[in-house]
C-alpha cells in the first residue's frame, strides 16, 4: 500500500517538475528599470573646474580643444539578483533634438577615488565611486577622472587605471523626449563583476570622432525638457538602467527536492 502511495506521489511530482521546467524555459524575461540615484555633468575648461546639477546633462569633448564635458551616473543595484540578468542597457532622455555623434561608456572601478588635484578645490573631497556628491562633485574630484586644466581631446581626463572601457556607439538623432539607449557590449559583465551594489558610469565623447557640438540630456532633477515641455516632476526624465531579468521559479526548487525524496524512497523500497 505504502509503495503504491509513494509511486502515485512521485508520478505527480515528476509531472509537475516537467511542467515547471517547460514553464521556466518559455517564461518571458521581465524588464526592470532602475533610475539613477545620482547624476552630474562635470566640466573642464581652461581655468575652469566645475560640476553642474541643474537638470541638464551635457556631453562634449570639443574639436576646438576648449571644453571637456562628461556625464557621471550612479546606480543602486541592491534590489536585483544580477545572476539572473541577461542584458543591460543604460538610457538617457534627450532634452532637445539629438545628433548622431559617437560616445564611449566607462565603468568606474570599485574603490576609485577622485584626484583632488586642483589647488582651487578646498578642501579636498575624497569622493570614491560610491560616495561622490552630485551637488558638490567637480571634474577634479570625480572618481575616474583627472583634471589638468587642458580640455584638449588628447587629454580627455579619463584615468585608465580607475576605469573600464565598456564600448560605445552613436547617439541617435532622436526628438526631444526620446530615449537614448547606450548599448555597450561589456556593460552587463561589468555590472555582474562589480564587488558591491553601487555602480558609477561615465559617458564621454569618442575622441576619434569629435565636433564642436554638444549633446544634451535630462538629469534626474529635471522637471521639464527644452522650452518647458513636456513637464513633470523630478525623476520623470531621469537616466535609468534597463535590465532584462529571467524569473526565478522558486517552486521548481521545491519540486526538485520532492523528486530527490522520491528517489531516496524508491531505493529504500527496493532494498
Digit-coded pLDDT (tens) for 22-75 = 444 445 679 999 999 999 999 998 888 999 989 999 999 887 778 899 999 999
Strand partners of residue 30: 245
CA distances from 143 to 81, 127, 157 (A): 26, 7, 11
Same domain, 16 and 124: no
Q: Quote the CA–CA distance of 130 and 37 in Å, as a whole number.
A: 11
Same domain, 210 and 266: no
Same domain, 22 and 105: no
CB count, 10 Å around CB of 183? 14
Same domain, 15 and 100: no
Same domain, 174 and 258: no
- With residue 109 as reference, give the H or E element that holds it: none
Residue 145 DSSP one-character state = B
Same domain, 59 and 148: yes
Domain count, the chain: 2
Quote the longest CA-to-CA distance of the chain: 89
* Closest alpha carbon to 23 in 255, 267, 265, 249: 249
Q: Quote the CA–CA distance of 127 and 164 in Å, as a whole number.
A: 18
CB count, 10 Å around CB of 206? 16
pLDDT band at 174 (very low <50, low <70, confident <90, very high): confident
What per-residue confidence (pLDDT) applies to 5? Answer: 45
Q: What is the dihedral of CA 256, 188, 133, 165, to 10 degrees?
A: 150
pLDDT band at 16 (very low <50, low <70, confident <90, very high): very low
* 3-class DSSP assignment, residue 82: helix
Same domain, 216 and 262: no
Q: Which domain holds residue 21?
A: 2-27+249-270
Same domain, 67 and 121: yes
Question: Who contacts 129 (Cβ-Cβ below 8 Å, separation ≥6)?
Answer: 74, 108, 109, 110, 111, 112, 143, 144, 198, 199, 200
What per-residue confidence (pLDDT) applies to 249? Answer: 63
What per-residue confidence (pLDDT) applies to 41? Answer: 97
Same domain, 7 and 106: no
What per-residue confidence (pLDDT) applies to 202? Answer: 98
Same domain, 143 and 19: no
Same domain, 6 and 50: no
Q: Which own/partner contact pairs does 133-138 have at CB distance under 8 Å and 24+ positions apart? A: 133/38, 134/38, 134/39, 134/40, 134/51, 134/53, 134/72, 134/74, 135/40, 135/53, 136/51, 137/40, 137/42, 137/51, 137/72, 138/42, 138/49, 138/50, 138/51
Same domain, 212 and 112: yes
What per-residue confidence (pLDDT) applies to 236? Answer: 97
Amino acid at each position: 500500500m505504502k509503495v503504491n502511495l509513494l509511486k502515485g506521489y512521485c508520478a505527480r511530482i515528476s509531472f509537475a517538475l516537467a511542467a515547471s521546467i517547460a514553464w521556466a524555459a518559455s517564461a518571458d524575461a521581465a524588464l526592470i528599470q532602475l533610475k539613477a540615484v545620482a547624476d552630474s555633468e562635470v566640466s573642464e575648461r581652461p581655468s575652469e573646474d566645475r560640476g553642474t546639477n541643474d537638470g541638464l546633462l551635457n556631453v562634449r569633448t570639443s574639436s576646438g580643444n576648449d571644453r571637456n564635458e562628461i556625464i557621471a551616473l550612479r546606480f543602486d543595484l541592491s534590489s536585483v539578483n544580477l545572476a539572473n540578468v541577461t542584458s543591460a542597457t543604460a538610457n538617457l532622455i534627450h532634452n532637445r533634438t539629438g545628433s548622431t555623434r559617437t560616445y564611449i561608456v566607462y565603468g568606474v572601478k570599485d574603490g576609485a577615488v577622485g584626484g583632488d588635484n586642483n589647488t582651487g578645490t578646498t578642501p579636498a573631497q575624497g569622493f570614491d565611486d560610491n560616495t561622490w556628491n552630485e551637488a558638490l562633485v567637480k571634474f577634479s574630484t570625480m572618481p575616474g577622472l583627472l583634471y589638468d586644466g587642458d580640455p584638449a581631446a588628447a587629454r580627455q581626463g579619463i584615468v585608465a587605471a580607475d576605469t573600464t572601457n565598456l564600448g560605445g556607439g552613436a547617439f541617435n538623432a532622436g526628438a526631444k523626449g526620446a530615449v537614448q539607449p547606450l548599448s555597450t557590449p561589456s556593460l552587463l559583465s561589468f555590472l555582474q563583476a562589480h564587488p558591491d551594489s553601487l555602480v558609477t558610469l561615465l559617458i564621454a565623447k569618442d575622441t576619434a570622432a569629435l565636433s564642436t557640438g554638444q549633446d544634451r540630456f535630462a538629469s534626474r532633477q529635471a522637471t521639464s525638457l527644452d522650452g518647458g515641455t513636456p513637464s513633470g516632476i523630478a525623476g520623470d526624465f531621469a537616466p535609468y538602467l534597463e535590465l532584462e531579468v529571467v524569473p526565478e521559479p522558486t517552486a521548481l526548487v521545491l519540486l526538485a527536492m520532492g523528486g530527490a525524496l522520491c528517489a531516496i524512497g524508491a531505493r529504500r523500497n527496493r532494498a
